[in-house]
Amino acid sequence: MSYRNLAVTELVERARTGDNRAVGRLLTLVERGGPVADQIAELTHPLRGNAHVVGVTGSPGAGKSTLVGRLLAEWVAQGFRPAVLAIDPSSPLSGGAILGDRIRMDDVVPEGTFVRSMATRGHQGGLALAVPGAVRVLDAAGFSPVVVETVGVGQVEVDVVAAADTAVVVATPGMGDAVQANKAGLLEVADVFVVNKADRPGASDTRRDLQLMLDLAHVTGQDVDEHGTYFRPEIVMCTATSGDGAAATIDEIHKHMAHLKASDGLSRRRALRVRAEVRSRAERILMDHLDRAISESDLLTDADPNPVSTAESIVSRITGND
């Protein structure tokens, strides 16, 4: 039977009964965007809320996919039903594509888990809508944890991880990775640090660098949120290739969730997530209006339009402040 012809209501029903083909079809539709994706968002919105959303980020080639494969195996062994959304760094800028030895997510995930790759190329900001939409589908389908793997370069990627319940930042020995993570704004969003490739020289230096940065953030009060809650991320040493440290990483991820629940941080974090998505959606609607207004504007047919007043007039027309 082809799933292409099924109505989205039917797909959502099937997804909830453990039909992974229906989940895959829904994710394809979410990725495509438009009115159908919006309809899926509306259907799945009331069904979400039980998944522990875990973001995993770090520099290209840090071993994120290898680590996630290990985490999944451990979670499955513990009786969880995890899923992964791997945001594929298809842009040459993010580096993933030029690393010949990168691990394909499908090669490392154990039986019983759901994996989906999403390409960043060609999305032009659509990722900000596609990722929350896809996470919601997986959540509504009963998966937990839902892991989102993304390379820690670029604001959209950092935002994706910041929107998770628990953000795991993967650093590696050498090349000042801890400093890089700090510059990319990852230090602020990290709830758990993993120093991966601990089998390589310099791993303890990376751990020390991270510790120093955390100390500094604590001294300056940067790590206390607006509600005065302080949570110091643990640093876990890990060798993802052998699986060493995977269980300890899971312990820290679970500890962080327990902290969120005990401190009321979970509902605050989820409220922020909704707010970020609403903002992205509103932005898209405004941009559509703007593009239309610009292409229809008679002001721009002038030989030499005044950029300042023309922009103001066009915005006034959209906002109705004419």
Ligand X SMILES: Nc1nc2c(ncn2[C@@H]2O[C@H](COP(=O)(O)OP(=O)(O)OP(=O)(O)O)[C@@H](O)[C@H]2O)c(=O)[nH]1
Choose the contact partner of 172 out of Mg ion, ligand X, none; CB within 5 to 8 A by kind.
none
Stretch that binds ligand X, among 55-63, 158-166, 273-281, 310-318 (CB under 6 A): 55-63
Least distance to ligand X from the beta carbon of 51, Å? 22
Based on the shown chain and the rule CB under 6 A, indicate whether residue 163 belongs to the binding site for ligand X: no
Residue in this structure with the two tokens 């000042």, named with its chain if needed: 176
Q: If 0-12 CB within 10 Å is exposed, 13-18 middle and 19+ buried, where does residue 289 land? A: middle
Based on the shown chain and the rule CB under 6 A, indicate whether residue 206 belongs to the binding site for ligand X: no
Say if CB 105 and CB 165 are below 8 A apart.
Answer: no
By CB under 6 A, the count of residues binding ligand X is: 22
Positions in 63-82 near ligand X (CB under 6 A): 63-66
Based on the shown chain and the rule CB under 6 A, indicate whether residue 197 belongs to the binding site for ligand X: yes
Dist. CA 238–CA 67, nearest whole Å:
8
Residue number of the CB closest to ligand X reads 63
Beta bridge partners of residue 87, listed in sequence order:
118
What CA–CA distances, in Å, run from 169 to 55, 56, 232, 277, 283?
8, 6, 13, 22, 28
Choose the contact partner of 207 out of Mg ion, ligand X, none; CB within 5 to 8 A by kind.
none
Least distance to ligand X from the beta carbon of 170, Å? 7
At residue 201, the 3 state secondary structure works out as coil
Least distance to ligand X from the beta carbon of 256, Å? 21
Residue of 62, 153, 162, 163 that binds ligand X (CB under 6 A): 62
Dist. CA 297–CA 286, nearest whole Å:
16
Residue of 26, 73, 186, 240 that binds ligand X (CB under 6 A): 240
Q: What is the Cα 28 distance to its own chain's centre?
A: 17
Least distance to ligand X from the beta carbon of 200, Å? 6
Residue (27 or 171) nearer to ligand X, CB: 171
Least distance to ligand X from the beta carbon of 270, Å? 27
CA nearest neighbour of 236 among 190, 181, 201: 190
Residue of 32, 121, 183, 200 that binds ligand X (CB under 6 A): 200
Based on the shown chain and the rule CB under 6 A, indicate whether residue 287 belongs to the binding site for ligand X: no
Based on the shown chain and the rule CB under 6 A, indicate whether residue 196 belongs to the binding site for ligand X: yes
Positions in 82-101 near ligand X (CB under 6 A): 89, 96, 99, 101
Give the per-residue contact string, 58-97, with Mg ion (x = CB under 5 A; - = no): ------xx--------------------------------
Q: Write the CB contacts of 53 (distance below 8 Å, at least 6 apart in sequence).
A: 135, 139, 145, 146, 148, 163, 164, 165, 166
Residue (44 or 66) nearer to ligand X, CB: 66
The DSSP output letter for 6 is S
Based on the shown chain and the rule CB under 5 A, indicate whether residue 57 belongs to the binding site for Mg ion: no
For CA atoms 209, 211, 214, 215, the dihedral sign is negative
Residue in this structure with the two tokens 């500890």, named with its chain if needed: 255
CA nearest neighbour of 235 among 198, 268, 271, 281: 198
Query: Can you give the length of the chain in residues?
Result: 322
Based on the shown chain and the rule CB under 6 A, indicate whether residue 148 belongs to the binding site for ligand X: no
Beta bridge partners of residue 28, listed in sequence order:
none
User: Which residues of this chain interact with ligand X, rule CB under 6 A?
Assistant: 58, 60-66, 89, 96, 99, 101-103, 151, 196-197, 199-200, 239-241
